[in-house]
Amino acid sequence: MHDLPNDPIDPYEARLARRVGAWTEQAVEPFDAAEIARATAVTARRFGVRGALLGRGRSPNLAWVLVAGVLIVAVGGAVIGGGAKGPVGPAATPTAAPPVVAVHSCTPNDVEAVITAWDGAAGSRIATVELHQTGTAPCTVDPLPQPWLADGRGSPLITGKAGAGTPITLAPREVLHTLVQVGNYCGPAPAAPVTVAFTQHGAAFVATALSPTDLSGVPPCNGPTAAAVIEMHPWSR
Amino acid sequence: MIDPDALRGVVASAATGDEIAFARIVAAHHHDMARVAFVVCGDVVLAQDAVQAAWPKVWAKLGTVRDPAKLRPWLVSVAANEAKQLARSRNRRWVREVAIDESTEASPGSASRSTADPGNRAAELDLANAIATLDPDDRILIGLRYAAGLTSDEIGRVIGMTGGGVRARLARLLNRLREELHDA
């Protein structure tokens, strides 16, 4: 509890400050500063200085989903590249064409998805999601990647379908927005936090959950015979 | 509390990734952040979640703190904003999950750990209820002022208002709380 600052506004402040001090005493819990610092540092070093994995409640298992996404992209690219040893047909004549810098498909190294709100609708839940470009070079995002609802272990609870559309080029620091609607989950109680994720070209973007314990995205079971649903609006600026 | 002369060095070291220096900052400010977060969200568990979520953001942006005297106001404001976001999602969940019988499941963050004295308990409930009726941004103001003890100018800098604006808004809030709590 703190003394009042030396810029008094009203004599009543002293009484209110005492009441607030007594009331907030219940929020003062023992903690291990070294452990908090260690966990924060480890997470920041492993996943980048933004520290989002610890900060917004992603479990380490979800982190592995990100790592797996990167590996899938990397291995997939190598296999595809290795299978095609060169152009088929007549040898191309070397020319002095200017170098073309290809814009690559975004990977979890380039973007960070964040749930900013969950809203309820009749029998369903709607997540408001932002996709932040955190890389240093432009990359492309499919307007309708495959959406899925993920539990705290990174396992899919409901899986949707990808859609077609012209990829969106996302510059560094740009932000895209979307809404994801989920409905009719009739499975066992999921591990927290529940979040949404998006897969494009083998890379999974797992959105940072609202909190480490958040389960507000679990939709009610409307009937086990009906299919679970997850749909998203196209990413938009 | 870290000695003001040493604070600059501690912040600089922590900003470069020194865990020990960062732990000193955590040790000095974690409780204040929890108190402020609690005023904003009204729930102990949610307040602890908010502070937990605040530390990685602090780690990532500590290098932007040029004046160590501004560290404490900034830290408690980060916790306050995290609590505001968590409270928003939590409130929505309460609205949606009416089927859950919360009456039989005591919240670990409220009644169970509050003061045992019935008179004090009633006073705390009155205060909690009065603060719960405030706008989230007003709860942040109350937390920063009366849980963290910040000056009007310090509050103004972290929430983007003038010190005079903060004082005027707090004066209105004080009048409102005084009436609701019958503290006249």
Q: Please measure the distance between the N-terminal and C-terminal CA atoms of chain B and give it in whole angstroms.
A: 35
Q: Number of Cβ pairs closer than 8 Å across A and B? A: 174
pLDDT band at B103 (very low <50, low <70, confident <90, very high): very low
Is the confidence at residue A39, as pLDDT, over 80?
yes
CA angle at A33 for the pair B136 and B108, rounded to the nearest 5°: 50
Contacts of A22 in chain B (CB under 8 A): 115, 120, 124
Widest Cα–Cα separation across chain B: 55
> A47-51, A120-124, A130-134, B122-126: lowest mean pLDDT where?
A47-51
What are the pLDDT digits (tens) for B59-97? 999 988 889 899 999 999 999 999 999 888 776 443 333
pLDDT digits (tens, 9 = 90+) for B15-68: 998 989 999 999 999 999 999 999 999 999 999 999 999 999 999 999 888 898
Among positive and negative, which fits the CA dihedral B79, B14, B72, B29?
positive
pLDDT at A221 over 60: yes
pTM score of the predicted model:
0.54
* pLDDT band with cut points at 50, 70 and 90 for residue B109: very low
How do residues B139-183 score in pLDDT, each as one tens digit?
A: 999 999 999 999 999 999 999 999 999 999 999 999 999 999 988
- Asked whether A139 and A106 are in contact (CB, 8 A), the reply is yes
pLDDT in tens, A53-81: 333 333 333 333 333 444 333 434 333 33
Dihedrals phi, psi of A197, to nearest 5 degrees = -145, 160
Q: Who among A12, A36, A37 is closest to B183 (CB)? A: A12
- Give the three-class secondary structure for A236: strand
For residue A181, which of A163, A196, A193, A168 has the smallest C-alpha distance?
Answer: A196
Q: Do B22 and A37 touch (CB under 8 A)?
A: yes
ipTM: 0.87
Tokens 């600089």, located at residue: B12
Banded model confidence at residue A9, pLDDT cuts 50, 70, 90: very high
**Left, alpha or beta for B42 (phi > 0: left; psi -120 to 50: alpha)?**
left
pLDDT of residue B1: 66
pLDDT over 70 percentage in chain A? 75
Calculate the alpha carbon distances from A194 to A51, A115, B87, B150, B156 in Å: 19, 10, 17, 36, 36
pLDDT of the residue at A137: 85
Q: Do B49 and A212 touch (CB under 8 A)?
A: yes
Q: How far is A70 from chain B (nearest CA, A)?
A: 23
Q: Which of B44, B52, B59 sits opposite A212 (nearest CB)?
A: B52
Among chain A residues, the shortest Cα distance to B79 is held by A55
Q: Which of A23, A25, A38 sits opposite B127 (nearest CB)?
A: A23
Amino acid B150: pLDDT: 97
Gap between the Cα atoms of A66 and B39, Å rounded: 35
CB contacts, 8 Å: A213 with chain B: 45, 49
DSSP A208: B
Per-chain mean pLDDT for chain B: 85
DSSP string, A129-144: EEEEE-SSS-EEE-SS
Query: What is the model's pLDDT at position A13?
Result: 94
Could B96 and A13 be called an inter-chain contact, meaning their C-beta atoms sit closer than 8 Å?
no
Q: How far apart, in whole angstroms, are the C-alpha atoms of residue A201 and residue A219?
A: 27
